[in-house]
Amino acid sequence: MPFVSYTRNFEDVMLNRVFDSIPHGFYVDVGAYHPATDSNTYAMYLRGWRGVAIEPAPAVASLWATMRPEDVLVQAAAGAASGHTSFFTFGDVEQYSTTTPQTADQHRSNGAPVKTTLVPLVSLNDVLARYRPEGDIHCMSIDVEGGERAVLEGLDLRRYRPWVIMLESVEPGRPVPNHMPWEPLLLACDYEFVYFDEVNRFYVAKEQLHLKRFFACGPCVWDDFIHIDLVTARSELAQARAELEQLRLRSP
């Protein structure tokens, strides 16, 4: 049966390729937002993986409890240290929410309504010390709309060694690279850049460089995958055809 992808840019297809031989891995999803829609880790959850999701938006908390009850949801933003921080949201486009004032100013200049709330702030060091003090961290996904450096500053990459780290590395809503300020933090801690999918940059820990071979190309026919939107469309089409056939049979 084909692997079902839930992401717009097929990030989960790449992760499934890399970790196909690991049935019960562990992920950390920073800036996770919705538990399923465009989630980099939902397909892995369905495969049997479990982990920690960090997301301050209150609107999705009940969805996580319902759809991914075996994951830990930390309702906070991630940053360099624990405390509190301003959280900026932009109308109905909650996936672009950020803790970065510069990103908020960019949306404001484009005419988006900006709402500011105060939310808890946690460092990845504190989160991992509580929820993953020991054991492998196979994958870390970071999607924080401009706050990448602060998140990495709160993570001791000498103590915690995710096998693969994937970070959204373009400016919010634009194909403009933004990795220059934070990439040196990863390279200095023995991570190697291995792949860019035009949205995310992928890095592999030096001790896991045997995984580098999986990043030789982007998602392709050999990954044997199908997107959830197509699965849904086919199901709805089959249902519509069945209903149409029932109507035809009832007609005199």
Given CA atoms 39, 116, 149, 80 in this order, what sign does their dihedral have?
A: negative
pLDDT of residue 101: 77
Q: Residue 4 has which token pair? A: 């079902």
Which fold, 3-250? Rossmann fold (3.40.50)
What pLDDT tens digit does each residue of the chain (252 aa) get?
A: 899 999 999 999 999 999 999 999 999 999 999 999 999 999 999 999 999 999 998 889 999 999 999 999 999 999 999 999 988 877 666 667 788 777 777 777 777 777 888 999 999 999 999 999 999 999 999 999 889 999 999 999 999 999 999 999 998 878 999 999 999 999 999 999 999 999 999 999 999 999 999 999 999 999 999 999 999 999 999 999 999 999 888 877
pLDDT of residue 94: 66
Q: How many residues does the chain have?
A: 252
- C-alpha to C-alpha distance for 60 and 33, rounded to whole angstroms: 7
pLDDT of residue 74: 97
Q: Which amino acid is at 41?
A: T
pTM for the model stands at 0.93
Is the distance from CB of 64 to CB of 73 less than 8 angstroms? Answer: yes
What is the domain partition of the chain in residue ranges? 3-250
Identify the helix (H) or strand (E) that includes residue 185: helix 183-187
- C-alpha to C-alpha distance for 177 and 180, rounded to whole angstroms: 8
pLDDT of residue 92: 66
